A and B are shown apart, each in its own frame.
Chain A
Amino acid sequence: MTDEETMQRPSIVFDERLSLVVGMLQRFTWEESKTSDTSARIELGGQITIDDAAALWKRISETLSDVDALREVTLDLTRIQKIDGACMALLVQFRTELRARKVGCEFVSGSDEVKRVVQLYGGRKKQRQARPKRRPLSAIEQVGTATFAVFGETKQILDFMGRLAASTWHVLRHPKSLNLRDVGLTMERAGADAAPIVLLINFLIGFVMAYQSSAQLKQFGASIYVADLVGVSMTRELGPLMMAIIICGRTGAAFAAELGTMKVSEEVDALRTLGFLPLPFLVIPRMLGLILVAPILVLMADAVGIAGGALVASLTLDITPTMFLIQLESAVKASDIISGMIKGVVFCAAIALISCQQGLATSGGAEGVGRRTTSAVVSILFTLILLDALFTVLLGVFGI
């Protein structure tokens, strides 16, 4: 096919194309004839291009289902005017299948153009050994493989924690080895840059919570307790949790992707060859940066969440901001705020740990970076909920 012919390919209407694709319409000829009891000849003719691949494959499948009595099949290509690589690949597969069933198969004749395609796709003197078919794993094997994978991952995490503990000790003994530049950078990116979205989300959370509860509280004449509800919920629970979820999506994913990319592009190896420990240089600064901004972000989240609640109380319950604040003062204790800040710090430490661990465990190029980033975000969200539940129980037990 010349370049011009390729470019000026006649357009096929939609239903014709659909028929070609499902193999109903056949634009080439396929004539089978028996030359003896055990041999057959298939004469192919016309133009066989990618548009005819479905029909060709259908004919091949039909023929393959009925070759048990044959010992020899000859594919005569004389009348083929044109064949492209895709269809030749199907014919080669047909020949391979026949040979695998101990049925001899040869391509014969054909124009020079057809012969060139045959040479390119099916003319290898030396046939490669057929790859053994991959056997699907049984359910027990899948469970076993998954169990080993869990053990492998756990081992990796424990190894990481051990090295992190050793690196932390190293940094404590040699504070100069800490990469302070990345501490500041993390505080800026995860703190200052994240502040607007943390503020907006928490304001809306406080707003929605107050709005939803105001109607219920009004029924019992307990509208003023909206301040208690919003204040305690925001400081103890929702402020740190929402902040952590935003940090997980913004910073946790970024850490995992950044370190993952560094790992696959050998930057982490380069760091080691220059005498740097990857953990004090890459992980501890990020963890420290996040831990330092966590209490500030939690306080800001608490404040704007409560402000959102106060706005709703003022608009729908006729509770003035002053009344709201007086009620809030009696409802929210310092321990509520402090426990929320501690939660935020622990959440951020978990985010940094998991995302950095996942990032440094990356292998396998861009696909590996994507997989580890996703894995980091999912693991962090699960861990946050788990830690939150643990905190709630522990704080309840200790009466805080």
Chain B
Amino acid sequence: MSRPMITARELSIGYGKTTLLRDVSFEVERGDIFVILGGSGCGKSTLLRHLIGLETPLAGEIRIAGIGAPRLEGAAPRYGVMFQSGALFSSMTVGENVAFALQEWTHLPVDAVSAIVRAKLTLVGLEGAEGKLPAELSGGMRKRAAIARAMAFEPNLIFLDEPSAGLDPISAVELDELILALNRNLGLTVVMVTHELESIFKVGKHCIMLDHESRSIIASGDPKQLRTESDDPRVRKFFNRETSVPQWQ
């Protein structure tokens, strides 16, 4: 069995004196589409920020491809990241955004970088958008461009923070299809945070569910199986969309 892509052991994460999650342990296998689930405010995105290396855990260890706590800065990107808003550099064109890391970390001539940029944008269905500014793109296009930027350095691991949040149903499905295609055709390991059920069942192979109250993982496994087989009322409530909004008289 190959070494896991990500190993998280006994993680405690939070900010300052606030602990959001305690004793969180899990593994992400290579080639997996791993979904971090949970209600709003349970620490999904914060956990993702810790996995990416943007924050340091209060306790515990994260190893990516066997390497623990690498420095993000000062080296070529080891994995791709797509932030919730896309986080494209607003002063640069889409092409410049995708080319940005390539220009810095490779010694490729400009023509070669342009060819790679075009190929990456075609991959995400944005051919011909090189010259556009992020402000000229729709929400879905911006997220696609962010995936192209994350894919620019040929990573074998990509982190996605709420990829389909705020998108219309068609754009959301298209994005899911893109994630599946990248995983299937390139063997890309995907770690994504979402609470969109359609997306979870469509693309998720494994998942962990976080809970705000217990501040820990309350379920893990195949999301489709969890939906039908879990005995935990919190898991059933999430997957079956049981609302906690008070009933009207």
Contacts and interface: CB of A to CB of B under 8 A. Distances in A.
Interface of A: 119-120, 123-126, 128, 170, 261-262, 265-267, 269-278
Interface stretch (B60-68, B79-87, B164-172, B194-202): B79-87
B248 A124 contact: yes
B104 A275 contact: yes
A262 B91 CA distance: 10
Nearest to B79: A273
Contact of B87 (A128, A170, A270, A275): A270
Contact of A274 (B101, B246, B249): B101
Interface residues of B, number: 28
Given A275-B72, A275-B105, A276-B73, A119 B249 contact: yes
Given A119-B248, A272-B73, A273-B77, A266 B84 contact: yes
Interface of B: 49, 52-54, 72-77, 80-81, 83-85, 87-90, 100-101, 104-105, 149, 246-249
30 contacts: A119-B249, A123-B249, A124-B248, A125-B246, A128-B246, A265-B85, A266-B85, A267-B87, A267-B88, A267-B90, A269-B49, A269-B54, A269-B83, A269-B87, A270-B87, A270-B88, A271-B89, A272-B54, A272-B72, A273-B52, A273-B54, A274-B77, A274-B101, A274-B104, A275-B74, A275-B76, A276-B73, A276-B104, A277-B73, A277-B74
Contacts of A278: 73
Given A124-B248, A125-B247, A270-B81, A265 B87 contact: yes
B89 A267 contact: yes
A125 B73 contact: no
Contacts of A267: 87-90
A273 B246 contact: no
Contacts of A272: 54, 72-73
B30 to A, nearest CB: 20
| Most chain B CB atoms below 10 A, which of A120, A128, A276 | A276
A257 to B, nearest CB: 12
B237 to A, nearest CB: 16
A176 B97 CA distance: 19
Given A266-B85, A267-B89, A275-B73, 17 more contacts: A119-B249, A120-B248, A124-B246, A124-B247, A126-B246, A265-B90, A266-B87, A267-B87, A270-B81, A270-B83, A270-B87, A270-B89, A272-B54, A272-B73, A274-B101, A275-B101, A276-B104
B75 A275 contact: yes
Contacts of B90: 261-262, 265, 267
B92 to A, nearest CB: 10
Contacts of B85: 265-266
A124, A262, A270: residue with the most chain B Cβ atoms closer than 10 Å: A270
B146 to A, nearest CB: 8
B151 to A, nearest CB: 12
A175 to B, nearest CB: 14
Given A266-B87, A270-B81, A273-B52, A125 B75 contact: no
Contacts of A265: 85, 87, 90
Contacts of B248: 119-120, 123-124
Contacts of A270: 81, 83, 87-89, 149
B99 to A, nearest CB: 11
Contacts of B53: 273
B105 A273 contact: no
Lowest 8 CB-CB distances: which A-B pairs, in order?
A266-B87, A123-B249, A270-B87, A124-B246, A273-B81, A274-B101, A266-B83, A277-B73
Contacts of A126: 246-247
Nearest to B152: A274
A270 B84 CA distance: 11
A123 B100 CA distance: 56
A263 to B, nearest CB: 11
Contacts of A266: 83-85, 87
A126 B105 CA distance: 58
B67 to A, nearest CB: 15
Nearest to A261: B90
A274 B249 CA distance: 54
B72 A273 contact: yes
A119 B247 CA distance: 10
A125 B104 CA distance: 61
A278 B54 CA distance: 12
B87 to A, nearest CB: 4
A274 B84 contact: no
A278 to B, nearest CB: 8
Contacts of A277: 73-74
Contacts of B80: 273
A125 B248 CA distance: 7
A271 B105 CA distance: 13
Contacts of B54: 269, 272-273
Nearest to A276: B73
Contacts of A119: 248-249
A335 B7 CA distance: 64
Contacts of A269: 49, 54, 83, 87
Contacts of B249: 119, 123-125
B54 to A, nearest CB: 6
A266 B73 CA distance: 16
Contacts of B84: 266
Nearest to A185: B91
A188 to B, nearest CB: 14
